[in-house]
Amino acid sequence: MASPYNTEASSSPALGKASSKNNEGSAPLPRAAGTSPQYPSCPECGSTKTWKDGIRETRLGPVQRYVCRSCGYRFSFNGLGMSEALQRIYTKPLKSKVNITINCRGQDETLKATSFSRTGLKKTSDAATVVRLEASAKEKPAGGTEKQTAGEIKPETIKGKIVEFLWKLEKDGRTKGTIKNYSRMLNSFLKNNINPFDPEEVKDYIAKAPFELSTKDNFCRMLNVWFRFLGIDWQQPKYTYSAKIPFIPTEQELDQLIAGCGRKTATFLQLLKETGARAGEIGKLTWNDIDFERRIVRISAEKGSLPRMLPISLKVINMLENIKKNVNSNRIFIRDSIYVNFSIARKRIAQKLANPRILNITFHTFRHWKATMEYHKTKDILHVKELLGHRNLESTQIYIHIERTLFTNAPPEEFHVKVAKTQEEITQLLEAGFEYVLQKDGLAFFRKRK
């Protein structure tokens, strides 16, 4: 009877170290003096290429485990000619391009038979998508036409195609924000078990999803680019929607929200309020963009707007100086964490003040409020256009309608009125915050809100 032991010692230094560590506290296999350690042959395939794989605790004490390098069979051996199979972890060659079989408890037989690449899908929902894609790959297009369908794309390329598509967008010069939006959309399909290669399934999902019509229309525009990349024909659904008048809160509500947030979030919101910039523009600010001496912030535009330099108050300067700088980045804010903190604080403040209107305030609400107030003060739509960085005046004209509606029934404003004759008096009034109104009979008239 052949001996169950393998007299061939492991040639790998790394495996040797692991074996010695795993064998701590266990009895060594019997061997003759002056010979190499003996390892049992694999009871499955008979190979002598085995190595130690840790200790298995039993009621009779610790037992050495082994794994076969040829077939991947794991077994334990007590040195008395008795072997016990534990489990098969891998039956294909270790260095081949393999698919790992799913054998998770509680899954049905169809899913157990499904395999996917190590570098491919990992979630159960993604695996279910692969099952469906494999089934659809066997079906022919309706009507017998030979156009490209989702089934023609292999399941293992589902993630690879998305990565390839996002890389193409970057090569085409798309912004990081745009690429991130495409990534979120496509990955949302996978999370909801939607085949992103099937136009009809995608259209069904969008039609039933609880999105605004504007969001659905934006999804369809993005899908035009996606299906064009895949070479798949699809008929874009049309969603007709009308623009909504933005919500304009009172300044008191904005100040209450700012006061209830943490230090960094409050600074972020105060900058939104004073500059009217987009949240993405404020989120990209670096410390180099702040001129503390002249109290100016330099805005790097996004979404096709114009870059601009805007004044900020001493209050914002003091708030910025109290923020701890990140040693690993020159960025002032981390937008994702700001958004989470803002959402939590907004809900808490709305409940505390019993004011549900605060829940309607978003980052973009500060921009709408600033534009409306600036037009109310100046009645200069071109000034508001430059403040917001709009390229077209049409985008700014909506604030004329909002301002007229909000302040039609408002009580008349009260002003302090001053008259100046000399240059020194004019200078003093301007330094005190008075604004010039008109000049008549050699007198300059100034006013300031009470």
More confident residue, 138 or 37: 37
Is the alpha carbon torsion for 120, 126, 127, 130 positive or negative? negative
Confidence of residue 37 (pLDDT cuts 50, 70, 90): low
pLDDT value at residue 65: 83
Class of domain 251-407: mainly alpha
Neighbouring-strand partners of residue 6: 39
Given CA atoms 339, 345, 350, 353 in this order, what sign does their dihedral have? negative
Taking 60 as the threshold, does the pLDDT of residue 336 lie above it?
A: yes
pLDDT at 330 over 50: yes
364, 366, 368 from 249: Cα distances, Å: 12, 9, 9
Backbone angles phi, psi at 391, to 5 degrees: -90, -30
pLDDT in tens, 39-50: 788 887 888 888
pLDDT mean across residues, the chain: 77
The angle, 0 to 180 degrees and rounded to 10, between the axes of the packed helices 398-407 and 381-388 is: 120
Residue 324: its pLDDT value, please?
Answer: 83
Cβ neighbours, 10 Å, residue 242: 6
Nearest 5°: phi and psi at 199? -60, -40
pLDDT of residue 286: 94
**Contacting residues for 440 by C-beta, under 8 A, at least 6 apart:** none
CA dist., res. 212 & res. 380, Å (int): 33
What are the domain boundaries of the chain? 5-88, 115-230, 251-407, 415-449
How far lies 35's CA from each of 6, 19, 38, in Å?
12, 17, 9
Contact 358, 346 (CB under 8 A): yes
- pLDDT of res. 27: 42
